[in-house]
Chain A
Amino acid sequence: MSSKPKKKSDQLAAEPEKKHERLTPGGVTFNVINYVIFGILTFICAYPFYYLIINSISANNLSENGVINFWPQGIHFDNYVQVLQLSGLPLAAAVSVARTVLGTVLTVLASAFLGFMFTQQKMWARKFWYRFMVITMYFNAGLIPMFITMKNLHLTNTFWVYILPAIVQPFNIILVKTYIESIPHSLQEAAEIDGAGVLTIFGKIILPTCKPIMATVAIFSAVAQWNSFQDTLIYITDSKLYSLQYLLYQYINQANSLAQMVRTSGGSGMNMAALATQQTATSIRMTVSVVVVLPILFVYPIFQKYFVKGIMIGSVKG
């Protein structure tokens, strides 16, 4: 799945094992059991995704009865055509994409900048402000005070409620700070002697060297934004601002009535062909799920190598 397996596996191969080791019978049994168990675990993790996909493209009367388990039957793509026409879906997708892109960009920039600033000796009361930020990782006022605050700030039912609270993420800032501290300090000093200001150093020296850790922060933040569900639930009542996840939740719960709606608007012919493409609660549920999960399935393998690396750099030092 991953595009460049070589590099990553080198990173994780802790034990440079010799290839031609003699294997005892016990060792063979151990290997076999180990492989089988990991095979099963992997299957359990991957199969549900496969199940959703094959069911969303199979004949709907078959998937409704749960008979599609391993191979799609009666392949058709009408589900997608019809689901994508459901009112609300394109808008919710736009909202989700917008918050993911904007939220990620801002979070990454803020994390990089703050992480950088917290390494600067010259910053006023640096230690205090660092603690001021880190402490917020460990407590929160709670759901209701948070809701009241958002209301008082007039952020409920605005797009900004998705973005603003997510910009400063202490955990990400610590990751970046740890990373920057591992860069030789002389790099900055040299630039300073050449007359570069703080912003120049940040933009021209720190940002380019921080790419791996920024990719990690980006993927964390993007996934969090894309998957976020609670904030729509709590702060948003305006259906124009629903996120994709929230809509999915609604669709799962109302799949029956939705299927009815699509069916009546689509006209009713009772021959086999119509039966196969007729929307059912199951087909709606699965198709919408696939629509929501596909972007992650595409993006995830590309970024995987970055975040494994990023986590390692960030975590090894603490």
Chain B
Amino acid sequence: MFLYVLPFLVLIFLFSYFPLAGWAYAFYDYKPPLALSQCQYVGTKWFQMLFSNPTQVKQLIQVLKNTFAMSLLGIATSILPLLFAVFLNEIHCKWFRNLVQTLTTLPNFISWVLVFSVAFSLFSNTGMVNTILQNMGVIQTPIKFLDSDSHTYLWMLFWNTWKCLGWNSIMYLASIAGIDTSLYEAARVDGANRGQIIRNITIPSLMPTFFVLLMLSVANFLNNGMDQYFVFQNAFNKTHIQVLDLYVYNIGMTGNSLSLATAISMMKSLVSVVLLCVVNTVSKKTRGESIM
């Protein structure tokens, strides 16, 4: 019976555990066409370089700043899907609610490339927003929404929210549906109004879900992913858009320093695992359940 599962376990091993061996590259001066054995063993040179070379340090600090900023903004706005679900639940007109739900989850199903395409059509120099503003006489020259480095964090947050808000609220809508209706009836019999019901029943019932998701996002603090930032990056906004994942890509795949990039992604993975363990312990201590 175990044999049936074996091929899948092999797949897991190959694509999740085996790559860990690749961390060895962080200790070599790896030059792509050569084999690892032909390259020079340099020990912790790359790690030292990360912390001793001033330009490298400066760059890394900027990258970490960006990563932290985007993650913190994400965590700060993680209450939005909850509010979205709570207030959507207050809408009793069924077709309207379905319409809202259908259309707001739609952006979640398109790729970041398409999100960028959408952003480009609406916010480029000849895009709709600039044209309307110009026609109304608000501005004379088009605003460079995409080709400038001002408010990069907020723009990224905006697009992320646009893409994910409706989808993320589904989890909460599902939880709301699971709330015992007798609670609501009892509250209504006691004369509670809508505000009181939301504050005292709906929101407290959603808190467990909220905390689990919050913990997960804390554990994923360093993992912003790179798709979003990759498609939105350009020569102008590079300073503030490079998060760790993108930075690793940029120096590893285009900057041709595979070893340095491996060193960085290795440290990133280690920090993430530590973060996860910390969060897990905190969760166990405070709420009595672990997220693993």
Residue ranges of A at the interface with B (Cβ–Cβ < 8 Å) = 1-2, 5, 8-9, 11-17, 24, 27, 30-31, 34-35, 37-38, 41-42, 44-46, 48-49, 51-52, 55, 64-67, 69, 110, 113-114, 117, 120, 122-125, 129, 132-134, 136, 138-149, 153, 164-165, 167-168, 198-199, 223, 226-230, 233-234, 245-246, 248-249, 252, 282, 285-286, 289, 292-293, 296-297, 300-301, 304, 308, 311-312, 315-316, 318
Q: Knowing A45-B166, A144-B248 touch, does A248 contact B127 (C-beta < 8 A)?
A: no
Q: 3 tightest CB-CB pairs across the interface, nearest first?
A: A145-B22, A142-B265, A227-B111
Docked CA distance A3–B273 (Å): 44
The interface residues of chain B lying within 8 Å CB-to-CB of A318 are 212
Q: Are B126 and A66 in contact (CB under 8 A)?
A: yes
Q: Knowing A42-B103, A66-B126, A223-B109 touch, does A145 contact B8 (C-beta < 8 A)?
A: no
Docked CA distance A124–B9 (Å): 13
Q: Are B227 and A114 in contact (CB under 8 A)?
A: no
Asked if B5 is at the interface (CB within 8 A of a chain A CB), the reply is yes
The interface residues of chain B lying within 8 Å CB-to-CB of A49 are 106, 118
- Cβ contacts A to B, 24 pairs, < 8 Å: A9-B94, A9-B98, A12-B101, A14-B179, A34-B91, A38-B96, A46-B106, A51-B121, A69-B132, A114-B5, A124-B2, A132-B9, A132-B12, A143-B253, A146-B22, A148-B262, A149-B14, A149-B21, A249-B116, A285-B121, A292-B114, A297-B106, A301-B102, A316-B174
The interface residues of chain B lying within 8 Å CB-to-CB of A146 are 19, 22
Q: Which one of A129, A138, A300 has the greatest number of beta carbons of chain B within 10 Å?
A: A138
What is the minimal beta-carbon distance from A289 to any residue of chain B, in angstroms?
A: 4
Asked if B261 is at the interface (CB within 8 A of a chain A CB), the reply is yes
Q: Are B174 and A45 in contact (CB under 8 A)?
A: no
Q: Are B114 and A293 in contact (CB under 8 A)?
A: yes
How many chain-B residues does the 8 Å CB contact rule pick out? 98
The interface residues of chain B lying within 8 Å CB-to-CB of A164 are 11, 14-15
Asked if B65 is at the interface (CB within 8 A of a chain A CB), the reply is no
The interface residues of chain A lying within 8 Å CB-to-CB of B127 are 66
In-complex Cβ contact of B99 among A12, A42, A67 (8 A):
A42
The interface residues of chain A lying within 8 Å CB-to-CB of B178 are 14, 312, 316
Q: Are B87 and A34 in contact (CB under 8 A)?
A: yes
Asked if B40 is at the interface (CB within 8 A of a chain A CB), the reply is no
Docked CA distance A27–B219 (Å): 40
- Chain B residues numbered 105-156 whose CB sits less than 8 Å from any CB in chain A: 105-107, 109-114, 116-118, 120-122, 126-128, 130-132
The interface residues of chain A lying within 8 Å CB-to-CB of B209 are 315
Docked CA distance A11–B91 (Å): 15
The interface residues of chain B lying within 8 Å CB-to-CB of A44 are 162
Asked if B236 is at the interface (CB within 8 A of a chain A CB), the reply is no
What is the minimal beta-carbon distance from A232 to any residue of chain B, in angstroms?
A: 10
Docked CA distance A13–B181 (Å): 10
Q: Are A144 and B262 in contact (CB under 8 A)?
A: yes
Q: Knowing A140-B16, A165-B15, A228-B111 touch, does A145 contact B106 (C-beta < 8 A)?
A: no
**New contact pairs (19) apart from A41-B104, A233-B230, A316-B178, CB-CB < 8 Å:** A1-B99, A16-B181, A41-B100, A46-B106, A69-B131, A117-B1, A134-B292, A140-B19, A142-B19, A144-B22, A144-B258, A148-B19, A148-B262, A227-B110, A249-B116, A252-B116, A286-B121, A289-B121, A300-B106
* Chain A residue nearest in CB terms to B270: A139
Q: Are B16 and A316 in contact (CB under 8 A)?
A: no
Q: Knowing A34-B87, A296-B109 touch, does A315 contact B100 (C-beta < 8 A)?
A: no
The interface residues of chain A lying within 8 Å CB-to-CB of B22 are 141-142, 144-146, 148-149
Residue ranges of B at the interface with A (Cβ–Cβ < 8 Å) = 1-2, 4-5, 8-9, 11-12, 14-23, 25, 84, 87-107, 109-114, 116-118, 120-122, 126-128, 130-132, 162, 165-166, 170-171, 173-179, 181, 184, 193-194, 209, 212, 219, 226-227, 230-231, 245, 248-249, 252-253, 258, 261-262, 265-266, 268-269, 272-273, 276, 292
Counting residue pairs across A and B whose Cβ atoms lie within 8 Å, the total is: 280
Q: Is the interface of B mostly helix, strand, loop or mixed?
A: helix
Q: Knowing A1-B103, A144-B261, A315-B175 touch, does A48 contact B19 (C-beta < 8 A)?
A: no
Q: Are A136 and B8 in contact (CB under 8 A)?
A: no
What is the minimal beta-carbon distance from B233 to any residue of chain A, in angstroms?
A: 12
The interface residues of chain A lying within 8 Å CB-to-CB of B25 are 144-145, 148
The interface residues of chain B lying within 8 Å CB-to-CB of A292 are 111, 113-114
Docked CA distance A132–B112 (Å): 31
The interface residues of chain B lying within 8 Å CB-to-CB of A38 are 87-88, 91, 96, 100
The interface residues of chain B lying within 8 Å CB-to-CB of A14 are 89, 176-179, 181, 184
* Chain A residue nearest in CB terms to B253: A234
* Chain B residue nearest in CB terms to A43: B103
The interface residues of chain B lying within 8 Å CB-to-CB of A114 are 5, 8
Q: Are A30 and B194 in contact (CB under 8 A)?
A: yes
The interface residues of chain A lying within 8 Å CB-to-CB of B109 are 223, 227, 296, 300
The interface residues of chain A lying within 8 Å CB-to-CB of B101 are 12, 308
Q: Are B18 and A67 in contact (CB under 8 A)?
A: no
Q: Are B121 and A12 in contact (CB under 8 A)?
A: no
Q: Which one of A113, A134, A143, A245 has the greatest number of beta carbons of chain B within 10 Å?
A: A143
What is the minimal beta-carbon distance from A230 to any residue of chain B, in angstroms?
A: 6
* Chain A residue nearest in CB terms to B289: A318
Docked CA distance A16–B177 (Å): 11
* Chain B residue nearest in CB terms to A138: B276
Q: Are A12 and B114 in contact (CB under 8 A)?
A: no
Q: Knowing A5-B94, A143-B252, A316-B175 touch, does A48 contact B122 (C-beta < 8 A)?
A: yes
